[in-house]
Structure 1
């Protein structure tokens, strides 16, 4: 049993040593881990590993998912409380964002419209939130106008993933010219599989056989790439992966 206990300490120390090397920690951690495998592992866990784990994307996503499951209205409730206590533009925008995330775009739109009538009318976050609320309530033309204003006052936002994709979707919804180019732009700044899947959806509905062929390729690329996604990426892209698989009949 004593030998088994020692071997467990060594295995744990080796695990943390590999982590230290991969994350470029100071090399004195290796000395601590190998000279004092039991105590060193405990110290490394609380000093390095646990804080990093808490800050990881996967941990944050898990925390958000648990919070949403246990108390789905918490974000809206807290944002509404802050706004009632101090009805500032910042608090109004935070409430609008929380309402959007909670699937309440109509109320969110009211808050964004009220905020847009003041001195922060050209604030990028405000304009983007307003466009999202407009699109979510079926006003694609209004979303286009808001995004055009955003791009005019903040040109770099045209290369950012969320406004670029929303612009392409709004163009597609209104049947406007420039939809293809907008989706191509969204692909260049993509941060997930959404632009590929939504562009493929649009291409699949076009009369040109070449467009439908490219749509199939985009769907196939999503399915292929999903094989190499870590768990949090797969979870984040679940909707787009399922849609791609359905389009391919898989």
Structure 2
């Protein structure tokens, strides 16, 4: 057992030593780690490793997810306070995003509208936010016209998954014929099955059942290659595709 304990301490010190070299930390840490394997590893963990871990992207995402579960209104409160203290466009956009996440789409749209005014009239993130919030608020005309403005300023955004699907959905709600080609463009840039399912629903409403069935079948065929996490996050669309095929 003593040899096992000693070996474990050295392995931990070796792990932190490799970490120090990869991060470009002072070589002094190597001396500390291998001169005092147990104590050195503890000190390195507290001083270097733990702060880096807390600031990593994964840790930040996990922290935001946990905060959302424990206190779902926290981000809205923090964003509101930040905007009240300093009414910058960035803080207004943060507030708009928090409002949108809380379901207040119309209020979020108004904030995004003010963000996308004046010197930020061509800002892609503000225009995208305005389009999304407008669509969710039922203002499909504003959503479509906002994205047409964005596409004019930045043509590459037409090929982005989020903007292309918002545009297609808005056109569909407005009853415009261009919705079909817009959905086809959205499918090309999509990273999931939502675009295919929404296009299939639109086709069904127009009586184009055979084309809708083909899309539903594609979603189900694609799902056979999804890993567990992908199946979990796309469960809603897989269920919709399965329901769309029942009785047909």
Q: Do both proteins adopt the same fold according to a TM-score greater than 0.5, normalized to the shorter chain?
A: yes
State the TM bucket, normalised to the shorter chain.
Answer: 0.7 to 0.9
1:197 aligned residue (188, 194, 201): 194
For structure 1, which runs of at least 5 residues remain unmatched after alignment? none
1:76 equivalent in structure 2: 76
Deviations 1:134-163 (A, max 9, x none): 101111222001100111122222223321
Structure 1 residue 5: Cα displacement: 1.6
Which of these two proteins has the greater Rg computed from alpha carbons? 2
Report how many aligned residue pairs link the two structures. Answer: 237
Inter-partner Cα distance in structure 1 for 2:195 and 2:152 = 25
For structure 2, which runs of at least 5 residues remain unmatched after alignment? 244-248
2:213 equivalent in structure 1: 212
SS in 1 for 2:225: helix
Deviations 1:166-192 (A, max 9, x none): 1122223333233343334334444x4
Inter-partner Cα distance in structure 2 for 1:120 and 1:140 = 22
1:225 equivalent in structure 2: 226
Structure 1 residue 130: Cα displacement: 1.2
2:64 equivalent in structure 1: 64
Q: Tell which deviates more after alignment, 108-117 or 58-67.
A: 108-117
Shift in CA distance, 115/13, structure 1 to aligned 2, threshold 3 Å: closer
2:137 equivalent in structure 1: 137
| TM-score normalised by the chain length of structure 2 | 0.73
1:240 equivalent in structure 2: 234
- Please show how residues 15-94 of structure 1 align to structure 2 within 5 Å: 38=38, 42=42, 45=45, 50=50, 53-94=53-94
Are the equivalent residues in 2 in contact too, given 1:172–1:202 (CA < 8 A)? no
Structure 1 residue 41: Cα displacement: 5.2
Deviations 1:74-106 (A, max 9, x none): 222222223223333333222212211222112
Shift in CA distance, 36/242, structure 1 to aligned 2, threshold 3 Å: farther
1:176 equivalent in structure 2: 176
Q: Tell which deviates more after alignment, 114-123 or 41-50.
A: 41-50
RMSD, matched Cα:
3.7
Inter-partner Cα distance in structure 2 for 1:240 and 1:179 = 23
